[in-house]
Amino acid sequence: MIDEVIVETKNLNWSYNETKVLDNVSIDIQFGTFTGILGPNGAGKTTLLKLILNLLKVEKNSILIRGKDIKNYSRKELARIEAYVPQSIKMDFNFTVEQVVLMGRTPFLGRFDRESGRDFEIAEWAMKETGVLGLKNKLITQLSGGELQRVVIARALTQEPIIMALDEPTSHLDIHHQINILSILRSLAKKEGLTIVAVLHDVNHALEYCNNIFLLDQGKIVDSGSPEKVITPEVMKNVYNLDVNIKKNPFTGNPYIVHDYA
């Protein structure tokens, strides 16, 4: 892990119309970590992710990417650094899976360039990793929800980003693919120094995969740090109004929560 703050927000505020949804949010994300953003529905997680992708326009000097104001990056420059897997995916054009995945190479191509051998190789690798290679000639309008989500993750991997921002990347996936995708991301963070910023709802996934989490509630960071430190029965009660117990996973040795279903 390189000691570099790759994403920094400084007293970030955001309002939609007159309603404040992010309140003084200051976070530091370290290079090569798997960072989770957690919090209840409506807490501001997607908004925060969109801001650090420059999809919502912030004031000068409130977000730094690799130490430089996000406002000073061109769109293409930023697309070579950051890839995005959105929470809701709408694609209604008639492209094949392979064509969509290859779109991840766009930031690296000149205006009239065609993809080269290496572009196809990366796309093929990404489709294999996410288990969609067998679907490569299928139209994306004809995929299941989970297949489409994995195609969008494959496109983001094909972008070979430095930062990958994912908004509930496992929300449509079956349990095998949930673990598979999160494990691929963790391994890329460890081996390649990819920085992962993922909005996660599954607290147990956060406990297993994240190096660091930010817990948002009503637009404010209520706690941050290692998931073992942040996720306590008190916090789960305060933020989610849920009574939980913490146990130890016999396979991994990591903590996990259990709760009463009553």
Footprint on this chain of Mg ion (rule: CB under 5 A): 45-46, 87
| Selected binder of ligand ATP within 2, 3, 18, 41 (CB under 6 A) | 41
Rounded to whole angstroms, how far apart are CA atoms 246 and 213?
A: 17
Rounded to whole angstroms, how far apart are CA atoms 262 and 259?
A: 9
Range 50-79, binding ligand ATP (CB under 6 A): none
Q: Kindly state whether residue 45 participates in binding ligand ATP, applying the rule CB under 6 A.
A: yes
Site string for ligand ATP, 17-36 (x = CB under 6 A): ----x---------------
Q: Kindly state whether residue 184 participates in binding ligand ATP, applying the rule CB under 6 A.
A: no
Site string for ligand ATP, 74-103 (x = CB under 6 A): -------------x----------------
Rounded to whole angstroms, how far apart are CA atoms 109 and 166?
A: 24
Q: Kindly state whether residue 16 participates in binding ligand ATP, applying the rule CB under 6 A.
A: yes
Q: How far is the CB of 41 from Mg ion (least distance, A)?
A: 8
Rounded to whole angstroms, how far apart are CA atoms 257 and 235?
A: 12
**Angle, CA 63 vertex, CA 10 and CA 19 arms, to 5°:** 70
Q: Kindly state whether residue 149 participates in binding ligand ATP, applying the rule CB under 6 A.
A: no
Nearer to ligand ATP, 127 or 203 (CB): 203
Q: Taking contact as CB under 6 A, which single stretch among the options 4-12, 43-51, 176-184, 240-248 is the one that binds ligand ATP? A: 43-51
The 3-class secondary structure across 22-87, one letter per residue, is EEEEEEEEECCCEEEEECCCCCCHHHHHHHHCCCCCCCCCCEEECCEEHHHCCHHHHHCCEEEECC
16 contacts which partner out of Mg ion, ligand ATP, none, CB within 5 to 8 A by kind?
ligand ATP
What's the residue count for the chain?
262
Rounded to whole angstroms, how far apart are CA atoms 153 and 147?
A: 10
Q: Kindly state whether residue 239 participates in binding ligand ATP, applying the rule CB under 6 A.
A: no
Nearer to ligand ATP, 42 or 145 (CB): 42
Q: Kindly state whether residue 46 participates in binding ligand ATP, applying the rule CB under 6 A.
A: yes
Q: Kindly state whether residue 43 participates in binding ligand ATP, applying the rule CB under 6 A.
A: yes
Nearer to ligand ATP, 45 or 177 (CB): 45
Burial of 88 by CB count in 10 Å (0-12 exposed, 13-18 middle, 19+ buried)?
exposed
241 contacts which partner out of ligand ATP, Mg ion, none, CB within 5 to 8 A by kind?
none
Nearer to Mg ion, 188 or 210 (CB): 210
- The structure tokens listed for 251 are 């396979």
Q: How far is the CB of 147 from ligand ATP (least distance, A)?
A: 22
Q: How far is the CB of 82 from ligand ATP (least distance, A)?
A: 18
**Angle, CA 31 vertex, CA 26 and CA 37 arms, to 5°:** 45
Question: To the nearest 10°, the Cα dihedral for 174, 86, 216, 10?
Answer: 150
Contacts to ligand ATP by CB under 6 A: 16, 21, 39, 41-47, 87
